[in-house]
Amino acid sequence: MIFEFTDEHEELRRTVRQFLANESDENTVRELMADVRGYNPDTWKRIAEELGLAGLIIPDAHGGADFGLVELAIVMEEMGRVLLCSPFLSSAVLATSALVLAADESAQAEILPQLASGETTATLAFSEKQSPWDLSGLRMAAKADGDEYTLTGVKSYVLDGHSADEILVVARAGDELALFRVAPDAKGLTREAVAPLDPTRKLATLEFRDTRASRISSGDATKGIERAIARTLIALAAEQTGGAQTCLDQAVAYAKTRLQFGRPIGSYQAIKHQCADLLVEVEFAKSAAYNAAFTDESDGDALSTAAAMAKSFCSEAYTKAAKRNIQIHGGMGFTWEHPAHLYLKRAKASEMLLGSPASHRERVAAAVGIGSR
Amino acid sequence: MNESEVRERTRKLLEEIHPDTEGVDHVAFRTAQFNHGLAMVSYPEGLGGLDLEPKMQAVVNDELQKNCKVFYESLAINPIGIGMGMPTLLTYGNENLKKDLMRRIFTGEDIWCQLFSEPSAGSDVAGLAMRAERDGEDWVLNGQKVWTTLAHISKWGMLLARTNPDVPKHDGLSYFLLDMEAPGVEVRPLYQITGEAEFNEVFLNDVRIPADRMLGKEGQGWRVAITTLMNERSALGGGSSRKGGGPVALLMKILEESDAVRTASEQAILEDKVTDLYIRAELLRLTTLRAKASQRSGNPGPEGSVGKVAQSELYQQVWEACISAIGDDGLVYEPGYELRRPGEGDDLRSASDAAGRRLTAKYQLLRSQANTIEGGTSEIMRNILGERVLGLPGEPRVDKEIPWKDVPRG
């Protein structure tokens, strides 16, 4: 039934929340922000082994927990609340989904068990500067070289691209789009970390020069990759919802205790009503993210529309909440010392990641028949 | 009495009298329904009920809907009387009042209205000024009420008046049942920005109310009024029950039908706005579903409280976007502003064809301005969200501890 979380779901949420409360406090987040890799490999290992989250959506047969979007959304929402620094989005969501939905069985059997156990991480490099989030605009074309291929070109905004053990690349193969696997130390591959707007999530630029790659998908992989991106949009929307909730919680807590002119600032309607507005936005964001997570995955069109709706709404809700949180904190909210800016940076960066809210509204419009001209 | 016995009893009622029969009107049928205890099954026997659980009413209604072409919606017959008057009367009325009035409310013979708001007491209803002074066995009332729906056709009014101005505002109120036909009661239409008068102003000039028509005790009026009001807000703010339904569906249709001249960028901006509103309307619907699910599971959360403020502001934006979609023709307001009662002249709420849809949108652009005021202004609703849901401290009250007569008013 729609929106009915089971006791098992609530148990999963509690377990993840408890773990993250211990392992991803503000100090830890700040340390990892300053770290080039951007996450703690020991913590990631424990997330994989103790919680089984690295393989959350990996099929049973490949060593995973075989869960679906609902569990994924719950986990991402909790991670978003505390700005967990980890390769979960890049490896356990995006790359994993691409492998599950687009790769050949043999590649799945080789890569997925290691991802599930936390031994390795993977990333999916698909974005190119001139067409960041639209697969149809990708230009990188693989050159056939016997059984192997070579890749030349640049992939941008690659999540954890500088640290991932497995590099998966989306490129053209003739008329088709295909998934390739590149060794992390392959000749002609340079991986450069970029300085990200959001230091809690690392990005890299990957340059390929006649770099050897093996094709791990058969036929046109467009549909599979699109589906993997749709899943990632839903996961990201859930993460944004968790982040927005934290911003609201912080703003409300501060408004209750900060005194000016002899009374708590939360007693002034100017502040109270901003909090009330955020409450509406956060509740709507939850509805958007949960609705997408509860959508039947076998209905591809419904899934991509729900994903676009969630990503456009949750993005704007999160950014709004992060900005209001800074405003309600006043001068304190503008300091480096206070965590409010960490949420603003995560909010703004995740709003742009995988496409702007307006671009996703355009998808919704096309799907529901707005704009006949 | 179990479910099948309730069904059996309902079918017996229909054997006796059937609403589809010619000559059987709503009064005749609902009188029988009341006498069989099938009006409000959770009410006591003799007062329209059978002392059953409230959910059994759905069984009765289901049985009626299944077996009758004619089905009377209680809230269409006598919305304020049945929705708010009956529960208030049940809790606070004396036995004579209940016996005399309950049935006639249910049948629609007596229409009811609610007389709380005054020109000087809108959001701050408890600050109202209408005076009630004791004179022998009667109370004598003077003052003015406003925004009174249905007053012009009502027999009874639920009225809040000040019986003691020397105590803080909440403590000096008492609750009366006013006979709207009593000498000294004057009802005038209150025309609104659409030119219609859905509401009335009600003037009381030395109106006498017998003392036994007070509900609750003297000075307890606020508590009685809360019972009445609790049954009002729950009716506002659930969005459309259908995906892509409600006013947004009309907006999409109007955009599709529009042949207004627009530049490419105007069109793109408009389409983005319409899509944004479509998404928000869908999220309002989903949030309502989520609230129902959490209510079922016994853990009602904040999602249940955001509906009123979200819906009223959303719908205003939707109607405004309709005018943008209509384009230049939005300059014309076909029905004009002739002062009238609803239902007189064109039907501005039905939208059966393209012209009707445009007309509805133009009318609603104006009518929807009340959405953020009636039934709790958006400002009051945000206070409630801030204070009751988020736990923020209240605004300091300057009128709380002092006698009502010393509170500044204007």
Q: List, for residues A183-210, the tens digit of each pLDDT value.
A: 999 999 999 999 999 999 999 999 999 9
Q: How far is B390 from chain A (nearest CA, A)?
A: 7
For residue B240, the model assigns a pLDDT of: 62
- Nearest-Cα residue of chain A relative to residue B295: A4
Mean pLDDT for A257-281 is 97
B256 interface with A at CB cutoff 8 Å: yes
- If you count residue pairs, one on A and one on B, with CB atoms under 8 Å apart, how many are there? 129
The answer on pLDDT for B67 being more than 70 is yes
Secondary structure of chain B as H, E, C letters: CCHHHHHHHHHHHHHHCCCCCCCCCHHHHHHHHHHCCCCCCCCCECCCECCCCCCHHHHHHHHHHHHCCCCCCHHHHCHHHHHHHHHHHHHHCCHHHHHHHHHHHHHCCCCEEEECCECCECCCHHHCCCEEEEECCEEEEEEEECCCCCHHHCCEEEEEEECCCCCCHHHHEEEEEEECCCCCEEEEEECCCCCECCEEEEEEEEEEEEHHHEECCCCCHHHHHHHHHHHHHCCCCCCCCCCCCCHHHHHHHHHHHCCCCCCHHHHHHHHHHHHHHHHHHHHHHHHHHHHHHHHHCCCCCHHHCCHHHHHHHHHHHHHHHHHHHHHHHHHCCCCCCCCECCCCCCCCCCCCCHHHHHHHHHHHHHHHHHCCCCCCCHHHHHHHHHHHHCCCCCCCCCCCCCCHHHCCCC
Q: Indicate the residue among A97, A117, A137 that finishes a domain.
A: A117
pLDDT at B78 over 60: yes
Average pLDDT over residues B235-245: 63
Instruction: Answer yes or no: do A83 and A132 share one domain.
Output: no
Strand locations in A86-202 (E): 122-125, 143-145, 148-159, 166-173, 176-182, 189-194
What pLDDT band is residue B232 in, cutting at 50, 70 and 90?
A: low
pLDDT level of residue B238 (50, 70, 90 thresholds): low
Q: Name every chain B residue with its beta carbon within 8 A of the beta carbon of A275.
A: 385-386, 390, 392
Contact call for B390 and A280, based on CB within 8 A: no
Mark which of A204, A219, A234 sits at the end of a domain: A219
- Give pLDDT, residue B229: 81
Q: Is residue A373, in this structure, part of any structural domain at all?
A: no
Give the model confidence (pLDDT) of A163-179 as tens digits: 999 999 999 999 999 99
Tell me what percent of the residues of chain B surpass a pLDDT of 70: 97
Per domain, the residue ranges of chain B are 1-72, 74-234+396-410, 247-374
Domain match, A277 and A151 both? no
pLDDT at B234: 46
Range from A268-282, B294-308, B354-368 carrying the lowest mean pLDDT? B294-308
Q: Let me know if residue A168 belongs to a domain.
A: yes
Of B244, B267, B280, the CB nearest to A368: B244
B26-44 tens-digit pLDDT: 999 999 999 999 999 999 9
Q: What is the mean pLDDT of residues B158-186?
A: 98
Provide the whole-model pTM. Answer: 0.92
Report the candidate in B100, B78, B86, B95 with the shortest Cα–Cα distance to residue B26. Answer: B78
B243 reaches A (C-beta below 8 A)? no
Please list every residue in chain B whose beta carbon sits closer than 8 Å to the beta carbon of residue A279.
302, 306, 385, 389-390
A232/A363 same-domain check: yes
The domain of A88 spans 7-117
Q: Tell me the average pLDDT across A143-158.
A: 94
pLDDT digits (tens, 9 = 90+) for A223-253: 999 999 999 999 999 999 999 999 999 999 9
Same domain (yes/no): A245, A339: yes
Domain count within chain A: 3
pLDDT for B235 equals: 45
Q: Say if residue A161's pLDDT is above 50.
A: yes
| Structure confidence at residue B242 as a pLDDT band (50, 70, 90) | confident
Say what the pLDDT of residue A2 is: 67
Q: Cβ of B382 and A288 within 8 Å? A: no
CATH of the domain at A49: 1.10.540.10
**Of B358 and B344, more confident:** B358
- State whether residue B276 sits within 8 Å of chain A by CB: yes
| A238, A350: one domain | yes
Q: Identify the CATH number of the domain defined by range B74-234+396-410.
A: 2.40.110.10
Domain presence at residue A325? yes
Percent of chain A residues past pLDDT 90, beyond the cut: 95
The CA distance from B288 to the nearest CA of chain A, in Å, is: 9
| Mean pLDDT in residue range B68-75 | 88
- A251 and A132 belong to one structural domain: no
The pLDDT value given to residue B302: 77
Q: Band the pLDDT of B114: cuts 50, 70, 90.
A: very high
Predicted pLDDT of residue A4? 84
pLDDT of residue B303: 75
Structure-token match 């002392």, residue found: B51
Instruction: Name the CATH code of domain B247-374 (choices 1.20.1280, 3.40.50, 1.20.140, 1.10.150).
Output: 1.20.140
**pLDDT at residue B237 tops 60:** no
Whether the CB of B300 is below 8 Å from some CB of chain A: the reply is: no
Residue A1 reports pLDDT greater than 50: no
For residue B297, the model assigns a pLDDT of 72
Whether B390 sits inside 8 A of A273 (CB atoms) is: no
The residue from A117, A142, A175 where one domain ends is: A117
A15: in domain: yes
- Of all residues in chain A, what percent carry a pLDDT higher than 70? 99
Q: Is residue A297 part of a domain?
A: yes
Q: Are residues A247 and A158 in the same domain?
A: no
Show which residues on chain A lie within 8 Å of chain B, measured between beta carbons.
1-4, 252, 255-256, 263-264, 266-269, 271-273, 275-277, 279-280, 283-284, 286-288, 290-291, 309, 312-313, 358, 361-362, 364-365, 368-373
Query: Do the bridges between strand B199-210 and strand B156-162 make them parallel or antiparallel, or are there none, so unpaired?
Result: unpaired
* A257, A268, A283, A295, best to mutate vs chain B, most B CBs in 10 Å: A283
Answer yes or no: is A83 within a domain. yes
| CATH code, A199 | 2.40.110.10
For residues B115-132, average pLDDT: 95
A161 and A28 within one domain: no
When the pLDDT of each residue in chain B is averaged and rounded to a whole number, the result is 92
Average pLDDT over chain A, rounded to an integer: 96
On whether the CB atoms of residues A165 and A121 are closer than 8 A, the answer is yes
Question: Do residues A78 and A168 share a domain?
Answer: no
Return the closest-CA partner of residue A67 out of A6, A1, A158, A20. Answer: A6
- Are A236 and A293 contained in the same domain? yes
The per-residue pLDDT for range A4-32, each reduced to its tens digit, is 899 999 999 999 999 999 999 999 999 99
